[in-house]
A and B are shown apart, each in its own frame.
Chain A
Amino acid sequence: MIEIKNLSKHFGPLKAVDGITFSVGRGEVLGFLGPNGAGKSTTMKMVTGFLTPSAGRVSVCGHDIETDPIGAKSKLGYLPEGAPAYPDMTPAAFLDFVADVRRLSGEVKAKRIAEVVRLVHLEGVLQQRIETLSKGFKRRVGLAQAILHDPEVLVLDEPTDGLDPNQKHEVRALIRQMAKNKAIVLSTHILEEVEAVCTRAIIIARGRILFDGSPADLQKEGPLDEVFRRITTGDRVAAG
């Protein structure tokens, strides 16, 4: 459902993403791993149409992000890095706005909003301005916004960042639950998260894919953090 071919992004002389190719199908939860600055967020920004690639193609459910951005974007749910939301709005007003843009209306809209509010537990803060919310609640508002239209493709940039252990657990359960009929890409720097929710892991560093395989394959190589360090510091290049 996501097809990425030779995707590159250069910022001046810096190759943030350097010719990566992969695809994600329905039912897959792809964990995007890598050190800070590896190109994870840049790749996600290109997949969701925020950044224009320097080279390569992205297609979402058959819609090319550059030639048919509206088609691709309407199939996507996206939680950007840092979960931005309008600080002056309440979660209720914010979700209502996103629902309008996503062309949900009437009963369907009310039902979907109630559903996502329940899923990410926003009941208590619906009428509070977003700027007054804690980091964990802000992240959940961002997540609610991303899954509001029940998208076929979900791109989540560090979905559990800033959540406490219980909330992390809930969000992971939510992702696993949604995984059946979606293609999900999530980035994280928490290695256990890959084991907990992902069906597949990609490790990137310096804009290149260094590992692509199942979390089980990764684990065969030894303790996760050691494997991660070995791969990303360039002692060994593996592709699965």
Chain B
Amino acid sequence: MRNTLTLFKRELRGYFATPVAYVFIVIFLILNGWITFYLGGFYEQERADLQTFFNFHPWLYLFLIPAVSMRLWAEERKTGTIELLMTLPVTMWETVLGKFLAAWAFTAIALFLTFPIWITVNYLGKPDNGVILASYIGSFLMAGGYLAIGACISAVTKNQVIAFVLTVMLCLVFILAGFPMVLDFVSGWTPEAVVDAVRSFSFLTHFNSITKGVIDARDFLFFGSLIALCLFANAVLLDLKKAD
């Protein structure tokens, strides 16, 4: 655990050592504002909640999170530091976890900095702050899901562009898993159970039920187990392909 913390600290500091962190956070906040107020029509709706704000998070994350995750392992490979990291007395798990948690904490910082919108909505009306808190937690968990998928893909390639594009693609499949464009691929020739399983993987379905204020432990469990599974795959893939 102590090693995980050491790696976590190095990694998180790494984000702020380059313009990456600042560019990401600024763009994230600008896009959030634009989308909520212009695309979402936050004022026009005259509703004291943050649904318009959260509704766009799955789409915003689709492009921004892979930009964070693509460098996780691909960069270690490119600079050769992966060899250094893997020959230090730390276990694969500590490394995978430390890196993932740092990236997750980084997105948490970006998400936290959206708090002015929470202040705004509380100034304008009387929103249900419980739902807003649940939505923030849901959004944070969903970001973790995207990141874990991205980390896993980053582990198998040295090329960050490939990691980015593949992550966007795979995340899109997860977002749309409940919709015809994905379901049509599997329905008809596979048992109904498979179609149901694919449908249940939809990020949108799980996230939307959280933001609507339906607190169902299964939605949280879904993101939690997705993260665990992806990190497990990440460790296995990395062990197999670390020297390629």
Closest to B83 in A: A80
Chain B residues proximal to chain A, CB less than 8 Å: 3, 6-7, 10, 13-14, 17-18, 79-81, 83-84, 86-91, 242-243
Closest to B7 in A: A101
CA distance A173 to B14 in the complex (A): 35
Q: B87's contact among A49, A87, A97, by CB below 8 Å, is which?
A: A49
Interface pair B17/A89, CB less than 8 Å apart: yes
| A121 on the B face (CB < 8 A) | no
| A115 on the B face (CB < 8 A) | no
Interface pair B88/A86, CB less than 8 Å apart: no
Interface pair B86/A50, CB less than 8 Å apart: yes
For residue B86, which residues in chain A have a CB less than 8 angstroms away from its CB?
49-50
Closest to A94 in B: B10
Q: Is the interface of B mostly helix, strand, loop or mixed?
A: helix
Interface pair A85/B81, CB less than 8 Å apart: yes
Determine how close the nearest CB of chain A comes to the CB of B87; give it in whole angstroms. Answer: 4
Q: A51's contact among B14, B79, B243, by CB below 8 Å, is which?
A: B243
Q: A84's contact among B3, B6, B14, B80, by CB below 8 Å, is which?
A: B80
Chain A residues proximal to chain B, CB less than 8 Å: 45, 48-51, 69-70, 73-74, 76, 78, 80-82, 84-89, 93, 97-98, 100-102, 145
Interface pair B87/A89, CB less than 8 Å apart: no
Task: Answer whether A101 and B81 are a contact pair too, CB < 8 Å, given A50-B243, A51-B243, A88-B17.
Answer: no
Interface pair A101/B17, CB less than 8 Å apart: no
Closest to B90 in A: A101
Interface pair A84/B81, CB less than 8 Å apart: yes
8 further A-B pairs in the complex, CB-CB below 8 A; given A45-B83, A85-B81: A48-B87, A80-B83, A80-B84, A84-B83, A89-B17, A97-B10, A100-B6, A101-B6
Closest to B242 in A: A50
